[in-house]
Structure 1
Amino acid sequence: MFGVMLLTLIAERPAEVCGTRWEQDVDLTGAGTIAVGNTRTIVYDRSLPKGQRNKVVEKDSKTKNGRRVLPLPKPLQAALVTLRACQASEKLVAGEAYEDSGYVVVDELGRPFKTDKLRREAHRLMAEAGVRKVRLYDARHACLSWMANNGVPDTAVSAWAGHSDLSFTKRVYVHPDPQSLKAGSDKLGALLAS
């Protein structure tokens, strides 16, 4: 589950995390990359009988920029190698009961997660770790803010997020941190002292 949680921490949307497929999207060789673009999300369908109205929809990203290939940070690449090996062991143990769905985020029987299951698992892990419960989307905001506040060029932050509008990324996702505000204070202090 560690590799799955790291996927949420590199600013992928929950539906993108759930839509990630081993063969089509993940390259663990060489430098390692992950293609982002396939999504698995839950939609409400009134035409279905009560109790069955939530259904999974799989689709491409909303925009051309939403389809992107990101280099895997080394810790995530290592965690995904471990996750793949763990899933291979689970497949052997489960035998014919294993559903070889091809998705990265699956349960011990190979069944793909829905976004609500991903959220529940993340909240369970947060509770076990004794940390404050946050939305998975907050991890996306935190990652993009961290990148922007630590010298990653704005255009790279926007491209990493899958946005075509740089101003949208900065306005909605990038939040100043105390160190950035302190740097502003220091600059103003120098100006006012002169």
Structure 2
Amino acid sequence: MPRGKKSGRAVSGDGSIRKKKVVKRNGKEYTYWEGRYTSGFDPETGKQKQHSISGKTQAEVAQKLREITAEIGQGIFQEACKLTVGQWMTVWEQDYLNDVKPKTIESYRRQIKLHIVPALGGARLEKLTSPMIQHFYNSCSKEGLSPKSVKNIHGVLHKALQQAVAIGYLRNNPSDACTLPRVERKELKPLDDDAIRRFLEAVEGHPFETLYLVTLFTGMRQGEVLGLTWDCVDFESGSLLISKQLQYITGENNHRVYQLASTKNGKLRKIVPADFVMDLLRKQWSRQAEWRLRAGPAWEDSGLVFTNELGEHLVPFTVYKKFKKLVREIGLPESRFHDLRHSYAVAAIRSGDDIKTVQGNLGHATAAFTLDVYGHVTDQMKRDSADRMQKFIRSISGQ
């Protein structure tokens, strides 16, 4: 390899390859190839910065060496990151999640603390490989974590590693090549017409009657309906602006801190519900005005549509628990609060709303996603259409 004429030192980017043998404890020989290169001089010591790479074959190492020395020659070479996976995860969650919702950050931190760091935290970031990550995912499944949980863990790790790629700590994302367990979508269980009738009867006079009915006939998510504020209710135009949701994060001493955050996809949407819904909201406005007068100085002016009698936000778990009690009483113990949203979507499609309108009202990212979720409804509508056509054919053919 060429040497600097005056100093006799290796030129920056210079490289060499050699074959190496290691004798294991069982006496077997393991052979591999090692490439060595320099990337300049340490400004403090004046000594060469020497590095090594390894591979199973001479050709593999030669290819890696060509890529690295080319980067050195072009001035775009970055030294390998010396952080461990655990150290990088800490840096990532502290410095690179500024535009992420607090509730999401809390979820990320939980995945990192409970799963990622215990399994991979001690490994060097630059030494992390796809097989190592795949083994980790497989272990999670064997320990009983659901496919959805494994997918969530992968989502956090993949984002963190992708950021490491973006800033040059990694050449590629080793989690890209991993396979995940298949997540099977849970069967939707919207309320049918009879169940909705029974629900309407059971909820009459309930403290959360208006809340439940507005949810059922608008399809809003629980956080969205609990985070609905009066400035987003336009009685004149008969419309609602869905712009935020009520969320909580766990603070000190496991104390829950509630706050208003942006919607799930971060986008605003305007819906025009049935007059029935707007009438319910007018009654809620009057009811809340009475509460305000009764509470006096104790009233908290949260601006929320659904509050307790002091103007404070409702607790999501309480709303859910009361809902479960109601549906058990009418023989639907498996129904979830989110099924009110599904019930709205199915009813809207069956009533003749086009998929694009349903998508917009639900706040889905695409109409394709709405079709994917509620495709079984459109299939039923096609069968109904076929039945109607069959009746028409019989009527004109005399059969």
**Smaller-chain TM-score range?**
0.7 to 0.9
- Match 1:18 to one of 222, 226, 234: 226
In the TM superposition, residue 40 of structure 1 has moved relative to its aligned partner by: 0.6
Give the letter for the 1:48 counterpart.
E
SS of residue in 1 equivalent to 2:352? coil
Contact 2:246/2:259 (8 A) holds in 1: yes
The match for 2:191 is none
Q: Distance in 2 between matches of 1:11 and 1:33?
A: 14
Quick one: distance in 1 between partners of 2:292 and 2:340? 30
Residue 26 of structure 1 and its aligned partner are, at CA, apart by 0.6
How far residue 149 of structure 1 moved from its aligned partner, in angstroms, is 2.4
The residue number in structure 2 matching 1:41 is: 247
1:107-146 matches, within 5 Å, as: 107-126=308-327, 130=330, 132-133=332-333, 134-146=335-347
Deviation at 1:175, TM superposition (A): 4.1
Higher-RCO chain (CA-CA 8 Å, sequence separation at least 6)? 1
Q: CA deviation at 1:61?
A: 1.5
Contact 1:145 1:174 in 2 (8 A): no
In the alignment, structure 1 residue 155 sits paired with structure 2 residue 362: no
Judging changes above 3 Å, is the alpha-carbon distance between structure 1 residues 26 and 188 closer, same or farther for their aligned structure 2 residues? closer
**Do residues 176 (structure 1) and 383 (structure 2) align?**
no
Q: Which runs of 5+ in 1 are unaligned?
A: none
Change (3 A) 1:188 1:104: same
Work out the CA distance in 1 between the residues paired with 2:369 and 2:314: 30
1:158–1:166 Cα contact (<8 Å) kept = yes
The range that moved more, 84-93 or 115-124, is 115-124
Deviation digits for residues 8-60 of structure 1 (CA, Å, limit 9, x no counterpart): 111000000011001x211112x3111002111233x3x6214x2x3323211
Cα distance between partner residues in 2 of 1:142 and 1:174: 14
Q: 1:131 to 1:36 in 2, by over 3 A?
A: farther
Deviation at 1:188, TM superposition (A): 9.5
Contact 1:2/1:79 (<8 A) preserved: no
Equivalent residue number for residue 212 of structure 2: 5
Determine the C-alpha separation between the residues in 2 that align with 1:123 and 1:178: 30
TM-score, normalised with respect to structure 1 = 0.81
SS in 2 for 1:34: strand
CA shift in 2, pair 1:173/1:186, >3 Å: closer
The equivalent position to 1:58 in structure 2, one of 252, 260, 266, is 260
Contact 2:214 2:280 in 1 (8 A): no
Q: Give the structure-2-normalised TM-score.
A: 0.42
Amino acid at match of 1:21: T
Call closer, same or farther: CA 1:58–1:174 in 2, change over 3 Å. farther
| Cα separation, 1, equivalents of 2:213 and 2:280 | 8
Helix, strand or coil: the match of 1:176? helix
Cα deviations by residue, 1:123-167 (Å, 9 ceiling, x for unpaired): 344456x35242121011111122122211111111111112111
Aligned length: 183
- What do the CA deviations read for 1:90-145 (whole angstroms, capped 9, x no partner)? 111121222121100101111111322322333344456x3524212101111112
Identity %: 25
Q: Tell whether the 8 Å contact from 1:149 to 1:180 is kept in structure 2 after alignment.
A: yes
1:19–1:175: structure 2 CA closer, same or farther, 3 Å change rule?
farther
User: Structure 2: any 5+ residue segments left out of the alignment?
Assistant: 1-207, 395-399
- Amino acid of the residue matched to residue 227 of structure 2? G
